[in-house]
Chain A
Amino acid sequence: MRKELLEVAGVERLGPYSLVRMKRGGLESGVPGQFFMLSPPGRLLPRPMSLCLATRHELGFLIDPIGPGTIALAELARSERISVLGPLGNGFRLDIDRPLLVGGGIGVAPLPYLSERLGRPPAVLGFRTEAHAEAATLVPNAETVVEPRLVTELLRPGADILACGPEPMLEAVRRLAPQAQLAWEAPMACGYGACYGCAVEIDGELRRLCVEGPVLEAAA
């Protein structure tokens, strides 16, 4: 866990989303599915974001501007600096034979980096609208559906599923693929176990998602 003040290298729009690219300074990129806490200008609390892209010089985060914090992040301008803490939590296990990446909406965020690390395996993505689906361009070898079609229609038997998306999608994937690795989301103030805010039910108990996850085995 390391905190640095990072400079914005650039921001690109992808439909309603913003891809915020930061100069990475001395931060490690970590394992795909791990996350970073980004401090939006003018807000009290940082926001958890999984790493979307990692190059030698940059870390990229895909932002869905839905509240004051994410709007402030999406509106960052080149050369602004914000505090970034990470990598945090537990990412995906990469020792798998037949990976299939499954993403829904802003849940595609960790998939580009995951895809790179796994050698660009097939991916299936679902979005609410054609505009949201512009984010699919970030994920190589992806088949994309837009509502009313659902991404679960594209799951293949026998695949090792790594998924991130809204809770109903993850629940549906869990029912179809009990061995899947699922990346969950929860409101989070700190990202490193201090605030106890991100409690989710795991094995019948409320536990901190930032400590136990955010990637959990589906059976949990």
Chain B
Amino acid sequence: MILNASGCLDAIVAPDVARELDVFVTKTVTPLPRGGNEPVRIAETDFGMLNSIGLANSGVEKFVAETLPRLAELELPIWVSVGGFSADDYATVCATLDGCGEVAALELNVSCPNVAEPVESVAELVRAAREATSKKLYTKLSPASPDIAAVAKAAASAGSDGLSLVNTIRGLALDRGSLTPTLSTATGGLSGPALRPIALAAVYSCFRATGLPIVGMGGIESGRHALELIAVGASACALGTIFFSDPEAPGRIRSELAAEAEALGFENPSDAYAVAHGDEAPAPLRHVA
């Protein structure tokens, strides 16, 4: 199952790209409209890129009234990424979306590196969301926490149905000439190939800690990269930075994934699910793509 990472594709502007996905994940929606951060918002780095968009979005009311009906025309399952600055914010957005039949699941973005963090813990944010909706909840975690498996367990205990791993990790780039920060916010979220081993480690440890279904993401550029995430415990994969250089990535990676899996003796890519854990995989495995 191939998704997009939240904020890396606009399905309304590029519907043909979105239709190649199994699920479309929206850009993060907050209670109120946000213009986002001032330019400069992106910078290429060695082995990755930084972004500091700052959760630009039209706010949940306009999202439900204008964006969601247009996304529904794609006839794809839609996951809405939910953001905020407090547990109340998450509850508000989740409650508003709870009645929207077009929404298949919610992804709680509790880990944006480009905006102020809520004071509440991840578990408190998940609990607030859980109480506000009966929809499936995936919690998107930061790879920057010292013990991501502990955060994953807390999210699971608070009612998260799955995990999205990983969000970007904070980084900084300097202008070539002036040696001052390239981005207007100085730091931004690092994505791309640099995240691959970090994402693998996060999925590996969170899978062992929770056994929850995991959407693995972080620097996927090829079928091999997706297969490795599946092997450490991802039941689905999301593409992010690769969209920027290759809008045809979903179809290409899907066929590479099938070929890579077959070359290693797996009939389907999903047969490689959690093989990295050998016999020590937690049981029962609750979800296989």
Question: Which residues of A are at the interface with B, using a C-beta cutoff of 8 A?
Answer: 1, 3, 37, 39, 43-46, 67-69, 83, 85, 186-190, 192-200, 205-206, 211
Q: Which of A1, A196, A211 contacts B247 (CB 8 A)?
A: A1
Cβ–Cβ contact A3 & B43, under 8 A: no
Q: How far is the CB of A162 from chain B (nearest CB, A)?
A: 24
Closest approach, in angstroms, between the C-beta of B29 and any C-beta of chain A? Answer: 14
Tally inter-chain residue pairs, CB-CB below 8 A: 94
Q: Cβ of A44 and Cβ of B241 under 8 Å apart?
A: yes
Choice from B13, B41, B244 contacting A45 with Cβ under 8 Å: B244
Nearest B-chain residue to A37, judged by Cβ: B245
- Please state if B35 and A3 are interface contacts (CB–CB under 8 Å): no
Instruction: Please pick, from B39, B193, B243, the residue contacting A199 in the complex, using a CB distance under 8 A.
Output: B39
* Given pairs A1-B247, A187-B43, A194-B9, 4 additional interface contacts (CB within 8 A): A3-B246, A45-B245, A190-B245, A194-B17
Across the interface, do B39 and A44 meet the contact criterion of CB distance under 8 Å? Answer: no
Closest CB pairs A-B (n = 5): A197-B42, A193-B13, A190-B244, A189-B244, A193-B10
A196 and B13: CB pair below 8 A? no
User: How far is A186 from B13 in the complex, measured between Cα atoms in Å?
Assistant: 19
Complex contacts, A196 vs chain B, CB 8 Å: 7, 10, 27, 36, 41, 51, 53, 56
Q: Which of A3, A37, A188, A192 has the most CB of B within 10 A?
A: A192
Q: Is the CB of B244 within 8 A of A46?
A: yes
In the complex the two chains form, is B244's CB within 8 Å of A195's CB? yes
**Nearest CB on B from A72, distance (A):** 11
> Interface on chain A toward B: helix, strand, loop, or mixed SS?
loop
Partner of A194, one of B10, B39, B48: B10
Q: Which of B1-53 contact A (CB under 8 A)?
A: 7-10, 13-14, 16-17, 27, 35-36, 38-44, 47-49, 51, 53
Given contacts A192-B14, A193-B13, contact A187 B244 (CB under 8 A): no
Which residues of B line the A interface, CB within 8 A? 7-10, 13-14, 16-17, 27, 35-36, 38-44, 47-49, 51, 53, 56, 176, 192-193, 241, 243-248
Within the assembled complex, what's the spacing in Å between the Cα atoms of A131 and B231? 56
Chain A residue contacts of B247, Cβ below 8 A: 1, 3, 85, 190, 192, 194
Residue pairs across A and B with Cβ atoms less than 8 A apart, 12 shown, are A44-B192, A45-B245, A46-B245, A189-B42, A189-B44, A194-B244, A196-B10, A197-B51, A198-B41, A199-B41, A206-B36, A211-B13
Residue from A83, A199, A211 within 8 A of B245 (CB atoms): A83
CA distance A188 to B9 in the complex (A): 14
- Nearest residue in B to A210 (C-beta to C-beta)? B13
- Which residues on the B side are within 8 Å of A199 (C-beta)? 36, 39, 41, 53, 56
- Contact yes or no, B39 A186, CB < 8 A: yes
Would B245 and A197 count as touching, CB distance under 8 A?
no
Q: Could you tell me if B241 and A197 are in contact, using CB atoms closer than 8 angstroms?
A: no
Nearest-neighbor residue (CB-CB) of B4 within chain A: A194
Interchain CB contact (< 8 A) of B51 among A3, A43, A195: A195
Q: Which of B13, B36, B56, B241 contacts A192 (CB under 8 A)? A: B13
Q: Across the two chains, which residue of chain B brings its CB closest to A43?
A: B44
Instruction: Give the distance to chain B from A4, nearest Cβ to Cβ, in Å.
Output: 11
Query: B142 CB to closest chain A CB, in angstroms?
Result: 20
Q: Which residue of A lies closest to B34 (CB)?
A: A206
Complexed CA–CA distance, A53 and B39 (Å): 30
Least distance between A69 CB and chain B CB atoms (Å): 7
A68 CA to B247 CA in the complex, in Å?
23
Contacts of B7 in A (CB 8 A): 196
Output the least CB separation between B2 and chain A (Å): 15
Name the B residues within 8 Å of A44 (CB-CB): 44, 47-49, 192-193, 241, 245
- B41 to chain A: which residues have CB within 8 Å? 187, 196-199
Q: B56 — which chain A residues lie within 8 A by C-beta?
A: 196, 199, 206
Q: How far is the CB of B13 from chain A (nearest CB, A)?
A: 4
